[in-house]
Structure 1
Amino acid sequence: MSYSRELDIALLAVQRATLLTKSVYSSHSKGTLSKSDSSPVTIGDFGAQALIISSIKHAFPEDEVVGEEDADDLRKDNSLRDLVWDLVQAAKLDDSAAEDKLGGPIKSADDMLQAIDSGRSAGGRKGRIWALDPIDGTKGFLRGGQYAVCLGLLVDGIPTVGVIGCPNLPIDDQAPLDSSVGAQADDKEGKGVLFGAVTGHGATSRPLSKGALAPANAISMKPISDISQATFCESVEAGHSSHGDNAAIASKLGITKPSVRMDSQAKYGSIARGAGDLYLRLPVSKTYEEKIWDHAAGVVIVQEAGGRVTDAWGKPLDFGIGRTLKENKGVVAAPKDVFPTVIEVVKEVLNAKE
């Protein structure tokens, strides 16, 4: 199957949701509340999840969705619900054909809450399940750094379609990646990119648009003749990835350039188009389980751009267990030609800590 319709719907849905998140950031209505796990959540999360799930359910009513959020907080807080509802009502693409594909506007606040709550799938190995992160990199979003809207389709537990919207990344695939990319980002002219991929059909980038999809450009990872010259990306948050282990790996590979720290799956998109080379997300605790929505879309895009993605021990990522990658620890992504070298060094550093 080409999954061309799935990719088209996912690209449009993520594009529309990304426009909502941009409107949240640029307006007075940016706000947070604390969830039980103490991570910040924004009204953009709720609005983006409602828009994307309503689009998926319109186009593919039998599909399931694993979403990061639920509507419990909105049901308890009428003013917050009304704020999100106003944003959802205002979010639309400047192209009637594109809007029709997505099912048009959500009709009521109750429909919005129902859409958000339709992301409670437990995941699994059977059937078609979408993994959604409405705002990946919430802390990056709040401080004006990198964040992404991410949507991946799992077919019988295998990542098959991936879309990532990155409003603060440069449109130019050749733009150099350095430490400034992850800090004080903005969405000025020349920023905003939409990555997409289907297994077996390659990966693309295109400028984010306010209407129909912009023309796509094929992307691929950059060949590395000298790994010491590679650029590696890591998380901003030390709680997400061990900066010390990452530095030790870079040193053993002879890499002297400072790492590029940025939030979200923007890292996957950045290495997929050759702006960066390696992505290291090494485990910080033995109990932490990666969430499938944090990796499903990025894995498809990097693999279709000529890369490999495994956990820190070289094991394939298992997306069919449930809502987490509980059989895996950490994530390593690199171009295929240097991946064996990178993963051996990763294992060497981790084994030295045992």
Structure 2
Amino acid sequence: MSAYAKELEIAQLAVQRAVILTKRVFHEKAKGTASKDDKSPVTIGDFGAQALIISALKANFPDDEIVAEEEAASLRTDDNLRETIWDLVKATQLSDSPTEAALGGAIADEEAMLTMIDHGSSKGGAKGRIWAIDPIDGTKGFLRGGQYAVCLALMVDGEVQVGVLGCPNLPVDDAAPLTGGMESGQTDEGGRGVLFSAVLGGGATSRPLTTGTLAAQKSIAMRPLTDMTAATFCESVEAGHSAHGDQAEIAKKLGITNPSVRMDSQAKYASIARGAGDIYLRLPVNATYQEKIWDHAAGDLIVREAGGAVTDIHGKRLDFTVGRTLANNKGVVAAPAGVHSQVLTVVQEVLNSK
């Protein structure tokens, strides 16, 4: 058994329960919505999922620190929004009774929910046990019925030890190829919904998402890439998140002929980890932007445990020791370990020629 067996189990169950809430929000509130304002389904889902995950972590690991995206100040002055979120949290806890005993720490009332949300205020750093949460990664993907992920990772002294991604709209079949239609119009029904996990040194796995106890898992691995021309690479949907033009030039120089697959969230990390794709590029769009640790910690570990290498554009490992952002890194290059250096060389050639 892994030294982090309990952490892994709690993380998997907590993410799965949070996914149940986000799916309810989508089906009841999100269809036809196009924005993330203070009353939007994304806001409701973000707060609700974060509260559920933190309640499980605090019940089982009360001394651990937590870095999360949301804080509850706005909910204390908005009765309608707070009550809407509480109703969803309460309903999700009741509907997920098979795992409630394992998770413990059911949220009792609205004030307890706000307290849980505010536990995510850690500044991060290089010492101790710190969890990173992104309750809905890929907000626009969530709204359009495309790819989004519920993300949770445990860092111990700055090293990611446990990573879990709940991807409700990815196909359960690990061999299902990536297609250009994955950025929108997906559904969490009919063979979709995957929970990806990894523990440092223990490999990476996938299993179908359920509404109760955990399903059986399968080991996953990146696809051996012997012919670069047959590679598929993933990139963000939004041009504001990653430099599409540079990525197209890199693909051309590598001889990749397949069109890139655009999708939101850490579903990109998960997709290449199980061999549905091969390369994930997230190139800087400006000199000052700093990536958030919760957007990369779980995916970084899952890809590395599946046989991949993950660095920034300078070839440095992602550094989770410096707070809530990846302040020491620029961009992301993820690829099978055997070809990562080749991909990185071309990335640097293209970026240095500008």
State the TM-score, normalized to the length of structure 2. 0.96
Query: Does structure 1 conserve the Cα–Cα contact (< 8 Å) formed by 2:25 and 2:41?
Result: no
Distance, in Å, in 1 between the alignment partners of 2:36 and 2:219 is 39
Where do 1:161-240 residues align within 5 Å? 161-240=162-241
Cα 1:190–1:29 shift into 2, 3 Å: closer
Match of 1:255 in 2: 256
1:160 deviation in Å? 1.0
Structure 2: runs of 5 or more not aligned: none
Contact 1:93 1:211 in 2 (8 A): no
Q: Do 1:16 and 1:93's aligned partners in 2 also have CA atoms closer than 8 Å?
A: no
Distance in 1 between the 2:108 and 2:93 partners? 13
Write the letter of the residue equivalent to 1:330. Answer: G
Helix, strand or coil: the match of 1:334?
A: strand
Residues of 2 paired with 1:270 and 1:33: CA distance? 26
Which 10-residue stretch deviates more, 48-57 or 72-81? Answer: 72-81
User: Which of 34, 37, 40 lines up with 1:34 in the alignment?
Assistant: 37
Alpha-carbon spacing, 1:93–1:85, altered in 2? closer, same or farther (3 Å): closer
Structure 2 residue identity aligned to 1:308: A
**Partner residue of 1:50?**
51
Amino acid at match of 1:17: A
The answer to which of 97-106 and 124-133 deviates more is: 97-106
Deviates most, 207-216 or 1-10: 1-10
Residue 129 of structure 2 corresponds to which residue in structure 1?
Answer: 128
Displacement after TM superposition at 1:11 (Å) = 0.2
Query: 2: CA distance between counterparts of 1:93 and 1:191?
Result: 23
Could you tell me how far apart the structure 1 residues matched to 2:304 and 2:328 are?
Answer: 20
Question: Which letter maps to 2:69?
Answer: E
Query: Shift of the alpha carbon at 1:104?
Result: 4.8
Compute the displacement of 1:29 (Å). 6.8
CA deviations 1:192-226 (Å, max 9, x no partner) are 00000000000000000000000000000000110
Instruction: Determine whether 1:281 maps to 2:282.
Output: yes
Any conservation in 2 of the 1:152–1:162 contact (CA below 8 Å)? yes
Shift, 1:34, TM fit: 3.1
Q: Secondary structure at the match of 1:346?
A: helix
Report the equivalent of 2:71: 70
C-alpha separation in 2, matches of 1:86 and 1:242? 40
Q: Which moved more, 1:291-300 or 1:100-109?
A: 100-109
Q: Supply the distance in 2 between the matched residues of 1:231 and 1:240 (Cα, whole angstroms).
A: 19
Separation (CA, whole Å) in 1 of partners of 2:340 and 2:129:
30
Match of 1:266 in 2: 267
State the alpha-carbon separation in 2 of the partners of residues 185 and 240 from structure 1. Answer: 21
Conserved in 1, the CA contact under 8 Å of 2:26 and 2:41?
no
Q: Deviations over 1:16-73 (max 9, x none)?
A: 00010000000037776536xxx99420000000000010010100001100111112
Please, what is the CA RMSD of the aligned residues?
Answer: 1.6
User: Would the aligned equivalents of 1:148 and 1:166 in 2 still touch at CA under 8 Å?
Assistant: yes
Q: What's the CA shift string for 1:146-197, capped at 9, x where partnerless?
A: 1000001011011110000000000000001111122211112100000000
Rate the CA distance shift 1:121–1:170 in 2: closer, same or farther, 3 A.
same
Alignment size in residue pairs: 350
Q: Distance in 2 between matches of 1:333 and 1:221?
A: 11
Q: What is the percent sequence identity of the aligned residues?
A: 65
Preserved CA contact (<8 Å) 2:98 2:212:
no
Is 2:126–2:322's contact at 8 Å kept on the other side of the alignment?
yes
1:300 CA displacement: 0.8
Please name the residue that 1:297 is paired with: 298
Aligned to 1:352: 353
Q: How does 1:98-177 map to 2 (within 5 A)?
A: 98-177=99-178
**Which residue pairs with 2:319 in the alignment?**
318
Q: 1:97 to 1:191 in 2, by over 3 A?
A: closer
1:42–1:138 CA contact under 8 A, matched in 2: no
Q: Distance in 1 between matches of 2:285 and 2:275?
A: 27
Counterpart residue identity of residue 62, structure 2:
P
